[in-house]
């Protein structure tokens, strides 16, 4: 059972709600994935206009899942903090996925603005889920500001590259053994999700790999299974790679025929 800010979630997959071909496909994909929480972009829904936004929110409510609003599209501390406060009023939750984007091409977080925004929001009673890099110093700063969850990227948002720096992710897991770590951004295939879960990460958040798939519902189901498989493999104890062959059948004590 995954516990985030005192809330227990049966699934370790969190799913985004953008870019789906239709609301019906979104609903079916979320159900097929088994996800316990979905992210929602306040800015995107407000841009869609009144009635469209209302219909979308009604759909999300009908799924009866935990909602994690985000500050996607925010490029400054002021934007992110203002958006987070609006989201709390609209969605009725103090959970917020905090994004402060610093680079237009890679959508890499502005880690300086991220830490400052986290300080403000944690002080205002928010349960902050910061979208960050795999930098250990930044992670320490975010925890110092009051964050109890970290969400490092494994590659740029929507790139589908998968883990580009496995060593850094493994190091983050080792440095923060008791902090819930959710890999966010860059997951492109179910095997990517399984890999980061095998590293000991607590959950995976993804969107594009499912929403833009040829069959989003089937892909959502595949990711749900991959996350579960990776977690079970980690808990069961994976064999470390070896540079020599090791026979699966013991030879000591066997009869020798001449």
Q: 158-203 pLDDT, tens per residue?
A: 899 999 999 999 999 999 999 999 999 999 999 999 999 999 999 9
Residue 243 domain-assigned (yes or no): no
Residue 185 domain-assigned (yes or no): yes
Q: Which residues pair with 182 in a beta bridge?
A: 203
Q: How confident is the model over 19-76, as pLDDT tens digits?
A: 999 999 999 999 999 999 999 987 655 545 555 567 888 888 888 899 999 999 899 9
Annotated binding site for 1-deoxy-D-xylulose 5-phosphate: 158, 185-186, 207-208
Instruction: State whether residue 58 is helix, strand or coil.
Output: helix
Q: What is the pTM of this model?
A: 0.89
Q: Which CATH number characterizes residue 30's domain?
A: 3.20.20.70
Residue 248 domain-assigned (yes or no): no
What are the φ and ψ backbone dihedral angles of 150, each rounded to 5 degrees? -125, 140
Of 184, 181, 187, residue with least CA distance to 199: 181
**Which residues are known to be catalytic?**
97
Q: How many domains does the chain have?
A: 1
Residue 165 domain-assigned (yes or no): yes
Of 15, 109, 99, 105, residue with least CA distance to 60: 15
Taking the CA atoms of 20, 26, 28 and 33 in sequence, report the sign of the dihedral they define: positive
Q: Domain containing 181: what range?
A: 2-236
DSSP class of 20 = -
Residue 169 domain-assigned (yes or no): yes
Residue 132 domain-assigned (yes or no): yes
Residue 232 domain-assigned (yes or no): yes
Do the strands 37-41 and 2-4 form a parallel or antiparallel pair, or are they unpaired?
Answer: unpaired
Residue 222 domain-assigned (yes or no): yes
């Amino acid at each position: 059972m995954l516990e985030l800010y005192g809330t227990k979630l049966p699934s370790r997959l969190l799913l985004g709600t953008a870019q789906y071909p239709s609301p019906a496909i979104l609903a079916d994909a979320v159900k097929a994935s088994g996800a316990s929480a979905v992210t929602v972009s306040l800015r995107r829904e407000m841009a869609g206009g009144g009635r469209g936004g209302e219909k979308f929110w009604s759909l999300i409510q009908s799924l009866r899942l935990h909602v994690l609003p985000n500050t996607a599209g925010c490029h400054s501390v002021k934007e992110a903090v203002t958006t987070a406060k609006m989201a709390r009023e609209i969605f009725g939750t103090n959970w917020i996925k905090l994004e402060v984007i610093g680079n237009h091409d890679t959508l890499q977080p502005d880690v300086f603005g991220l830490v400052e925004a986290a300080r403000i929001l944690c002080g205002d009673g928010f349960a902050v889920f910061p979208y960050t890099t795999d930098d250990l110093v930044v992670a320490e700063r975010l925890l110092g500001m009051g964050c109890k969850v970290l969400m490092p990227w494994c590659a740029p948002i929507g790139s589908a590259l998968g883990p580009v720096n496995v060593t850094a992710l493994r190091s983050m897991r080792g440095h923060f053994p008791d902090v819930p770590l959710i890999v966010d951004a860059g997951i492109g295939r179910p095997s990517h999700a399984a890999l980061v879960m095998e590293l000991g990460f607590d959950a995976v958040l993804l969107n594009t790999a499912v929403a833009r798939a040829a069959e989003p519902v089937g892909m959502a189901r595949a990711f749900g299974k991959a996350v579960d498989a990776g977690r079970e493999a980690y808990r069961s104890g994976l064999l470390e790679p070896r540079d020599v062959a090791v026979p699966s059948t013991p030879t000591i004590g066997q009869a020798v025929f001449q």
